[in-house]
Structure 1
């Protein structure tokens, strides 16, 4: 059962994804390792979703994705959090040589409280997250009442209408 976000003005939402396990045996294990490293980069996990699966895009022949979402408390501003996420991706083997290529780890800063930013390196809330079931589904799982800072629609509502990654489903253990 989802719990209320105590202070939605400060809820930091991070999406996690992987479709290459690297040396971790599975994408789920790699994502668990990424979450385990969050405290070391100043991110305290308040709540996290289960893992979801979806077909790779743009090439469905690539390995399928595992995705999830974490609500965290950050001890730094949004630019610093984004840099910490990029650094963690690199530490865990992310190769950014080709756009939309399979990847070990993809960490996206979806929202930083109710902040709305549009800078060259960071747009908040994430400009496409609301369209993606593999983001909104896991977010609705843990915080269905979370409201998009611009659209003012809940995660549950956005998940119900998401068209990108419409095949996304929770991983059944």
Structure 2
């Protein structure tokens, strides 16, 4: 079993519904168990800014599938929930990113773990630190993600407090 952390965001349509359905799909998948879900945070878009604000969560999963298979599962969930890839960093019904996969360092054409920009993104780090406050960068032993400058970003707003996986899965958009 491997612990992995994923970031999920949505800014099209019923954002909360898309987040809940993404977590539900992962949680019901054989070989993937969602152990923790952060509270829901609202943030302005990064990169391409001419779009609606995002809702974001981070989840901790325990899985028996490899990183590439987990990526395929995430992409399948995105497709089922209507994700269209037209503009880089553009609007999307749902976006699932693997942040960490155990302590693995993966550099493949279609997957880089740890996620290469996570340390710069408060919308990733703040929810991550909520569910794993002492998590350290696997490639820099002893360096906590809580020490990253991005954590100080005041543009990440608590949208809804979440009290566990079951509470999150009962939320309605």
Q: TM-score range by the shorter chain?
A: 0.7 to 0.9
After superposition, what is the alpha-carbon deviation per residue over 1:61-111, rounded to whole angstroms, capped at 9, x for unaligned?
A: 411011110000112000000010011101100001221210000000001
1:71 aligns with 2:60: yes
SS at match of 2:130: helix
Alignment of 1:171 with 2:163, yes or no, is no
CA distance in 1: counterparts of 2:52 and 2:129, whole angstroms: 25
> Residues of 2 paired with 1:125 and 1:60: CA distance?
25
Structure 2 gap segments, 5+ residues each: 162-173
Q: Tell me by how many angstroms 1:60 deviates.
A: 3.7
Pick 1 or 2: higher relative contact order, CA cutoff 8 A, min separation 6: 2
Match of 2:146 among 113, 132, 156: 156
Alignment of 1:18-167 (within 5 A): 18-21=10-13, 26-41=14-29, 42-152=31-141, 153-158=143-148, 161-162=149-150, 167=155
Which whole-Å CA distance do the structure 2 matches of 1:34 and 1:136 have between them?
A: 19
In terms of mean alpha carbon deviation, does 92-101 or 32-41 score higher? 32-41
| Counterpart-to-counterpart distance in 2, 1:45 and 1:106 | 17
Normalising by the residue count of structure 1, what TM-score does the alignment of the two structures yield? 0.84
The alignment yields a C-alpha RMSD, in angstroms, of 2.0
Q: Which ranges of 4 or more aligned residues in structure 1 deviate by more than 6 Å?
A: none
CA contact (8 A) 1:50 1:138 kept: yes
* Structure-2-length-normalised TM-score: 0.84
What's the CA shift for 1:151? 3.0
Query: Taking structure 1 as reference, are residues 172 and 71 closer, same or farther at Cα in structure 2, changes over 3 Å only?
Result: closer
Tell me by how many angstroms 1:157 deviates.
Answer: 2.0
1:164 is displaced (CA, Å) by 10
